[in-house]
Amino acid sequence: MKTLEIKNLHARVEEKSILNGVNLSVQKGEVHAIMGPNGSGKSTLANVLAGRDSYEVTDGEVLYEGKNLLEMETEDRAREGLFMAFQYPVEIPGVNNSYFLKAALNAVRKHRGLPDLDAIEFMQHVKQKAKILSVDPTLLSRSVNEGFSGGEKKRNEIFQMAVLEPRLCIMDETDSGLDIDALKIVASGVNTLRSPERTIVVITHYQRLLNYIVPDFVHVLSGGRIIRSGGKELALELEEKGYGSIEAHSEPQPAPTA
Amino acid sequence: MKVAEAEDVRFGRFEEFAAARAKVEPSWLRDRRRAAILRFRQLGLPTTREEEWRFTPVRSIATTEFEPATARSIPVTRAAVEPFAFAGLDGPELVFVNGRFAPDISRPSSLPAGVRVTSLSEILTSDGALVDDNLGRYVKFEQHGFTALNTAWMIDAAVVLIPKNLVVEAPIHLLYLSDAERPAAAHPRTLVLVGEGSAARMIESYAGPAGQVYLTNALTEIVVGANAQLDHYKVQRESTSAYHVSSTHLTLDRSAVFTTHSITLGGHLVRNDINALLGAEGTSCTLNGLYLAGGDRLVDNHTAIDHAKPHSESHELYKGVLNDRAHGVFNGKIYVRPDAQKTDAKQTNQVLLLSKDATINTKPQLEIFADDVKCTHGATVGQINDEALFYLRARGIGRDEARQLLIHAFAEDIIERIHIAPVRKALEQALLKELPLKD
Ligand SMILES: Nc1ncnc2c1ncn2[C@@H]1O[C@H](COP(=O)(O)OP(=O)(O)OP(=O)(O)O)[C@@H](O)[C@H]1O
Ligand SMILES: [Mg+2]
């Protein structure tokens, strides 16, 4: 079954066209990596999928579990199990991290027809996830991302992902800014989330992360299109030769069908 | 001065009032009232032609027929007071209805020997000379029409006297309640003297029944003695149809520490003045404020901090949330006199506009005549942060709830600085009720 199907997606921001016909099809339970040079539109794609309205979709369609994703409100996408780990998590002074997580978790649970967790159940759930990701529990009593180090912010994203248990995880450069130890912790945290029921899209510049989170497919996004797709060995090739060679020699490829 | 005389009549017949008061009050007070009404007749109410009132038209006050607020025909009960009391607050609570002390619905409380928390009428019988020396000394009633009007028409006053070297743990609550069937004008008056080396906490509350139209014209004088500390709160929960004009005049002696939080939740037209005289070395003065307004309401905060001597510090943080067509005004003056070297003054003013029709006029005014000083000011006016809103929604939190969270976080910054837990809790509840003032 397809979790995500992106067809001919075009998007722009302030008159500037950024996505120029993205095609991508992701089966349930697969891990896909999207790589590509700076400014090629990776974050734009992730944000369009999450529903950020500063990006205007001008053409194409996106099906998420068979439903028209682009028609859904941002919060409904999240409640339906889509999660984007932000490349640049936002600091929100005055909003308590644990209050925020509880509000988010209960909103998601409500949508799934589950009862609210009470304070004790919530803490148990959260503590368990915090342990897996080695998240310092004192971060929970602080404001959302406020004053967190770069690495703490990234880890907090994956921690939220673990707490909310989404079905489609889109991780936008979660590895940048992490030191080697933190990268291992985050990667193993992500791997504990891997399951046949969960689909993962990782956006990254580095092969390093993909040693830990081994992808089924690798795609290269350039100039707002996927110009090449392949297996995990494509990431190695990119590491060796850079994007230049591919950009020079590639024609846009059709989405892999499976 | 014909116009002003006509104005004066609209607040009641002063001659009758003064004659009645003269029977029960000392002659110095009678003379002070008389001087004040003469001054009021010269000044009248301020107009928008005056720089200090440019954005705050009080014409609607000037055209409303106010009765002098008197004791109600139906007495106010304790039940009417409860919503404005702070659950769990223990300490003396003096209730004034329409400016007059109401002992039967007040709550006495034991206080350290020598501390007086009482009404003017009561204290005149025991410490008349002390009141004569202090009442009206820290404010020039000549200043503007409202202060003159208060001095002429005050019917009673709350008096808080704390002798030297005492710590008063119990927060003192002064609750000024308005309640009248027809538009009435009350002139609440407060005098607070904190003796050398003492420490106290107090709250001034102003409130009235929802929907009622009335004028509260309040005047407060506070003196914090050498090395003394006062933690002060002003919580304004008037009817949103009411007019609330208040001025607080503060004098700090050597090494005194003063903190106030001015919380404005009610009032149709609100003007708050704080004038702080840092008249001796080494004082510390913190002015924090939070105001929320929607509809066509106007909230004007004017603060003036006068650094007269060296080594004093002042911190000021005002935050406003404005919705609909609400209008906010903030004017923050800081004077640093030639003598006041090593002054450290910081002023911050932040406003959150929730609608495109809400407006704010903000003006810092720094006048610095000393060279070795640190003075900073900053003002920010903004909307709800879209990035933060998207982040919250991307985690499944609905748009309205996400907005509410962000507005609340903005306001909470002031609320969480409140040191008296029952007051903080009550205001947190009030915030939840008021916010997000919808779209
Ligand atoms: N809000 C915006 N306003 C103007 N231009 C934007 C905006 N957001 C993105 N862009 C531009 O769109 C292009 C694609 O940006 P995007 O962030 O999607 O790239 P990316 O592939 O994620 O890059 P990186 O690898 O650096 O994260 C860039 O040229 C960027 O400057
Ligand atoms: Mg990016």
Ligand nearest to the CA of A36: 1
Instruction: Tell me: do B380 and B432 sit in the same domain.
Output: no
In angstroms, the CA B308 to CA B264 distance is: 29
Instruction: Tell me: do B208 and B107 sit in the same domain.
Output: yes
Question: What value does the mean pLDDT take over residues B317-336?
Answer: 97
Q: Which atom of ligand 1 is nearest to the CA of A224?
A: 14
The residue type at B43: L
A78, A93, A103: residue with CB nearest B401 = A103
Write down how long chain B is. Answer: 439
Within a domain: B135: yes
Q: pLDDT (tens digit, 9 = 90+) per residue, A204-213?
A: 988 889 999 9
Q: Is A12 in the pocket of ligand 1 (CB under 6 A)?
A: no
Question: What value does the mean pLDDT take over residues A40-62?
Answer: 96
Instruction: Tell me: do B180 and B287 sit in the same domain.
Output: yes
Contact with chain A for residue B388, Cβ under 8 A: yes
A50, A77, A103: residue with CB nearest B397 = A103
In angstroms, the CA B168 to CA B173 distance is: 13
Q: Which atom of ligand 1 is nearest to the CA of A221?
A: 21
Question: What value does the mean pLDDT take over residues B289-300?
Answer: 96
List the beta bridge partners of residue B332.
B303, B364
* Helix or strand (DSSP H, E) at B223: strand B215-224
What's the confidence (pLDDT) of residue B2? 44
The model's confidence at residue A258, banded by pLDDT at 50, 70 and 90, is very low
Domain boundary among B390, B411, B429: B390
Contact with chain A for residue B398, Cβ under 8 A: yes
* Helix or strand (DSSP H, E) at B146: helix B145-153
Within a domain: B225: yes
Within a domain: B73: yes
The answer to whether B252 and B276 have CB atoms below 8 angstroms apart is yes
B398, B408, B409: residue with CB nearest A75 = B398
Q: pLDDT (tens digit, 9 = 90+) per residue, B216-264?
A: 999 999 999 999 999 999 999 999 999 999 999 999 999 999 999 999 9
Name the residue at shortest CA distance from atom 10 of ligand 1.
Answer: A13
The model's confidence at residue B5, banded by pLDDT at 50, 70 and 90, is low
The answer to whether B227 and B255 have CB atoms below 8 angstroms apart is yes
Residues above pLDDT 90, as percent of chain A: 78
Q: Is A44 in the pocket of ligand 1 (CB under 6 A)?
A: yes
In angstroms, the CA B229 to CA A161 distance is: 49
Question: What value does the mean pLDDT take over residues B164-177?
Answer: 97
Q: pLDDT (tens digit, 9 = 90+) per residue, B29-45?
A: 999 999 999 999 998 89
In angstroms, the CA B234 to CA B364 distance is: 22
- Taking the CA of residue A81 and the nearest CA in chain B, the distance in Å comes to 9
Within a domain: B245: yes
CB contact under 8 A, A107 and B392: no
The alpha carbon of residue B168 and the mean position of all alpha carbons in its chain are separated, in whole angstroms, by: 22
Within a domain: B2: no
CA of A236 to the centre of ligand 1 (A): 25
Q: How far is CA A205 from CA A153, A239, B252, in A?
A: 18, 9, 61
SS3 (DSSP) at B4: helix
CA-nearest residue of chain A to B387? A90
CB contact under 8 A, B398 and A108: no
CA-nearest residue of chain A to B384? A92
Q: Is A166 in the pocket of ligand 1 (CB under 6 A)?
A: no
Neighbours of B421 (CB within 10 A): 12
CB contact under 8 A, A111 and B396: yes
Among A residues 47-66, those touching chain B with beta carbons less than 8 Å apart: 50-54
Q: Is A43 in the pocket of ligand 1 (CB under 6 A)?
A: yes
pLDDT of residue A18 exceeding 90 = yes
- Taking the CA of residue A52 and the nearest CA in chain B, the distance in Å comes to 7
Instruction: Tell me: do B313 and B437 sit in the same domain.
Output: no
Beta strands B100-101 and B93-97: pairing type?
antiparallel
* Helix or strand (DSSP H, E) at B319: strand B313-322
SS3 (DSSP) at B141: coil
CB contact under 8 A, B396 and A50: no
* Cβ-based contacts under 8 A for chains A and B: 78
Instruction: Tell me: do B397 and B436 sit in the same domain.
Output: yes
Q: Which of B389, B393, B412, B413 to mutate to test the interface with A (most CBs of A within 10 A)?
A: B393
Residues above pLDDT 70, as percent of chain A: 95
Q: Is A249 in the pocket of ligand 1 (CB under 6 A)?
A: no
pLDDT of residue B6 exceeding 60 = no
CB contact under 8 A, A104 and B406: no
Q: Single out the residue of B197, B305, B299 nearest to residue B260, CA to CA.
A: B305
pLDDT of residue B63 exceeding 90 = no
The residue type at B19: A
Within a domain: B108: yes
**Ligand 1, from A9, A14, A17, A18: best to mutate by most atoms within 8 Å of Cβ?**
A18
Q: pLDDT (tens digit, 9 = 90+) per residue, A61-99?
A: 999 999 999 999 999 999 999 999 999 999 999 999 999
- Cα-Cα-Cα-Cα torsion A125, A127, A128, A134, nearest 10 degrees, comes to 140
Contact with chain A for residue B389, Cβ under 8 A: no
SS3 (DSSP) at B411: helix
Within a domain: B1: no
Ligand nearest to the CA of A220: 1
Instruction: Tell me: do B346 and B215 sit in the same domain.
Output: yes
Question: What value does the mean pLDDT take over residues A29-33?
Answer: 96
CA-nearest residue of chain A to B414? A94
Q: pLDDT (tens digit, 9 = 90+) per residue, B374-425?
A: 999 999 999 999 999 999 999 999 999 999 999 999 999 999 999 999 999 9
Q: Is A16 in the pocket of ligand 1 (CB under 6 A)?
A: yes
- Cα-Cα-Cα-Cα torsion B291, B287, B388, A166, nearest 10 degrees, comes to -100
Least confident of A6-20, A89-103, A244-258: A244-258
Q: Is A42 in the pocket of ligand 1 (CB under 6 A)?
A: yes
Q: Which of B317, B380, B395 to mutate to test the interface with A (most CBs of A within 10 A)?
A: B395
Q: How far is CA B213 from CA A103, B96, B147, B182, B306, in A?
A: 40, 18, 21, 7, 35
* CB-based burial label for B96 (10 Å; 0-12, 13-18, 19+): buried
Sign for the CA dihedral angle at A32, A36, A38, A44 comes to negative
Contact with chain A for residue B400, Cβ under 8 A: no
ipTM: 0.95
Q: What is the DSSP letter of A30?
A: -
Q: Single out the residue of A113, A212, A125 nearest to residue A164, CA to CA.
A: A125
Extract the tokens encoding B158: 């709350």
First to last CA, chain B: 46
Q: Single out the residue of A46, A64, A50, A61 nearest to residue A4, CA to CA.
A: A64
Instruction: Tell me: do B141 and B62 sit in the same domain.
Output: yes
Instruction: Tell me: do B293 and B398 sit in the same domain.
Output: no
Which residue range(s) make up the domain with B54?
Answer: 7-390
Instruction: Tell me: do B34 and B64 sit in the same domain.
Output: yes
Contacts of A105 in chain B (CB under 8 A): 396
The upper half-sphere exposure of residue A61, i.e. CA atoms within 13 Å in the direction of its Cβ, equals 7
pLDDT of residue B4 exceeding 70 = no
The upper half-sphere exposure of residue B388, i.e. CA atoms within 13 Å in the direction of its Cβ, equals 22
What's the confidence (pLDDT) of residue B438? 46
Instruction: Tell me: do B219 and B322 sit in the same domain.
Output: yes
Instruction: Tell me: do B14 and B72 sit in the same domain.
Output: yes
- The number of folded domains in chain B is 2
Within a domain: B150: yes
Q: Single out the residue of A133, A206, A197, A138 nearest to residue A163, CA to CA.
A: A133
Question: What value does the mean pLDDT take over residues B91-115?
Answer: 93
Contacts of B392 in chain A (CB under 8 A): 92, 95, 100, 104
Q: Which of A48, A52, A54, A75 to mutate to test the interface with B (most CBs of B within 10 A)?
A: A75
The answer to whether A156 and A145 have CB atoms below 8 angstroms apart is yes
Contact with chain A for residue B399, Cβ under 8 A: yes
**Ligand 1, from A9, A16, A56: best to mutate by most atoms within 8 Å of Cβ?**
A16
Contacts of B402 in chain A (CB under 8 A): 75
**Which structural domains are found in chain A, ordered by start?**
2-249 (3.40.50.300)
Q: Single out the residue of B108, B11, B114 nearest to residue B58, CA to CA.
A: B11
Q: Where are the beta strands (DSSP E) in chain A?
A: 2-13, 16-27, 31-35, 56-64, 67-68, 82-85, 92-96, 143-144, 168-172, 199-203, 217-222, 225-230
Peptide bond into B108 cis (omega under 30): no
Q: How far is CA A194 from CA A166, A168, A189, A227, B265, in A?
A: 11, 11, 9, 27, 51
CB contact under 8 A, A104 and B397: yes
Contacts of B405 in chain A (CB under 8 A): 95, 100, 103
The answer to whether A61 and A70 have CB atoms below 8 angstroms apart is yes
What's the confidence (pLDDT) of residue B59? 84
Instruction: Tell me: do B242 and B333 sit in the same domain.
Output: yes
Q: How far is CA A238 from CA A39, A102, B75, in A?
A: 17, 41, 85
In angstroms, the CA B155 to CA B21 distance is: 8
Contact with chain B for residue A107, Cβ under 8 A: yes
Q: Single out the residue of A204, A209, A215 nearest to residue A188, CA to CA.
A: A209
What's the confidence (pLDDT) of residue B181? 78
CB contact under 8 A, A104 and B388: no
Question: What value does the mean pLDDT take over residues B67-87?
Answer: 81
